[in-house]
Structure 1
Amino acid sequence: MNYKRNHRRGKLLLLLPVLLLWSCKEDNPTNPDNGNEQELITTVTLSLTENGTSNVVTATFKDPDGDGGAAPTFGTLTLKAGSTYTGKVELLDESKNPAEDITKEVKEEAEAHQFFYTPQGALAGRLTVTITDKDSNNLPVGLEFTVAVSAGGAVTGSATNSLNVALSHFDNTPKNGADRSDESDIDINIPVTITD
């Protein structure tokens, strides 16, 4: 009789650690998710107004079906040498009806987002992009920016001569204002033509 009771207790004692581990929940994860999901962005529009004028130039990237499927389309920005522009970016998810304004979400979750604008190819020494908007921690966001085009010869926009536009999403990496995250909501190259 004692043997059966002790045998049952032994089984229960073996199950106890398993049950305790199974029922425990980690209250302080090492990589907390701040609740911001990565956004689906199907349309990116850059709008630049030439300083001192009412001239507005735009370029739009569209990928209506997201990754895979049909190839995306890229508009070309045409800028004047020696000019400065005030810019803004608009983001949409047009897979939804009506389209969802992702720009508003990025603005609301500014602490978890930052744009990086990187001139490529022949534009590397010709364009200077400066982010002008900040989040509540005084770190750059990039929904608003300026573009200064240096004087010089013409450049034809292409996949090589382009402005890389990347929207970093900071969930598991702290935003420091200088480094890109390993998560990107967008990472595209907008062709840029410079005229004399």
Structure 2
Amino acid sequence: MGTLLTFSACKDDDEPGPDDEQEVITAVTLSLTPTGKGQDAQATISTLTGSPVQNAPLTLRPGTEYTAVVTFSDESKTPEADMTAEIRNERDEHLLVYTFTPEAGSGATVNVNITDLDQKNLPVGLETTMTTGAGTGNGKLKVVLKHQPGGLKTGSNTTAGETDVDVSFNVIVAN
């Protein structure tokens, strides 16, 4: 998988007390629905067993636009805890960064456009459109969740703040 999940999710308070626990994110799921006709795609990367494991590659069609949603969960709890709502509630302090890297010799491209905004009209990234180019091949879609409190979030600074999650999904673009 190359990139390990770095799950040190955000704290609830800016000034946590001694008993505050840090949230745990053990799984990231990407769900894509084509805007025209075609088949949905979904994949999950989990670290519940320690090493990141992707349940299936994201298989996409070339020349297709998808509506995409990313969700976060803590599979160590019973029932499984949805961590996405907390990120959405603290959207002014979070930014998801997406980077697609094709394998050597691959003609695949995936462009990501963030469609959800925070209260300051800055991008969040829980909702996006992903568009594949005409070429086919394999690659990795890296998804990084940045926690950017206290004015660190500018919408364009993708390195500021703490990294809560860092995963890379295997992607296949094929007819």
Please give the TM-score of this superposition, normalised by the length of structure 1: 0.72
- Identical-residue share of aligned pairs (%): 39
Runs of 4+ in 1 over 6 A off after TM superposition: none
Establish whether residue 109 from structure 1 lines up as the match of residue 90 from structure 2.
Answer: yes
Larger Rg: 1
Q: Which runs of 5+ in 2 are unaligned?
A: 1-12
Please give the TM-score of this superposition, normalised by the length of structure 2: 0.80
SS of 2:165's partner is strand
**Corresponding residue for 1:171?**
149
Distance 2:97 2:121 in 1: 16
Q: 1:130 aligns with which of 96, 113, 127?
A: 113
Distance 1:53 1:105 in 2: 33
Query: Matches of residues 17-32 of structure 1 in structure 2 within 5 Å?
Result: none
Task: Give CA deviations for 1:67-113 in whole Å, capped at 9, x if unaligned.
Answer: xxx32201310010111100001110112222211100000000111
Cα RMSD after superposing both structures: 2.2
**Corresponding residue for 1:73?**
53
**Corresponding residue for 1:193?**
172
Worse-superposed segment, 53-62 or 106-115: 53-62
Q: 2:44 aligns with which of 57, 60, 70?
A: 60
Distance 2:121 2:145 in 1: 17
Shift of 1:35: 5.0
Alpha-carbon contact 1:87-1:146 (below 8 Å) kept = yes
**Corresponding residue for 1:50?**
34
SS of 1:120's partner is strand
Shift of 1:55: 2.3
The number of equivalent residue pairs is 155
Letter in 2 for 1:46: L
More strand, by proportion: 2
Alpha-carbon contact 1:88-1:143 (below 8 Å) kept = yes
Q: Which has the higher contact order (CA 8 A, sep 6+)?
A: 2
**Corresponding residue for 1:98?**
79
Shift of 1:134: 0.3
Task: Give CA deviations for 1:5-35 in whole Å, capped at 9, x if unaligned.
Answer: xxxxxxxxxxxxxxxxxxxxxxxxxxxx735
More helix, by proportion: 1
SS of 1:171's partner is coil
Query: Matches of residues 146-161 of structure 1 in structure 2 within 5 Å?
Result: 146-152=129-135, 154-156=136-138, 161=139
Change (3 A) 1:39 1:171: farther
Alpha-carbon contact 1:38-1:169 (below 8 Å) kept = no
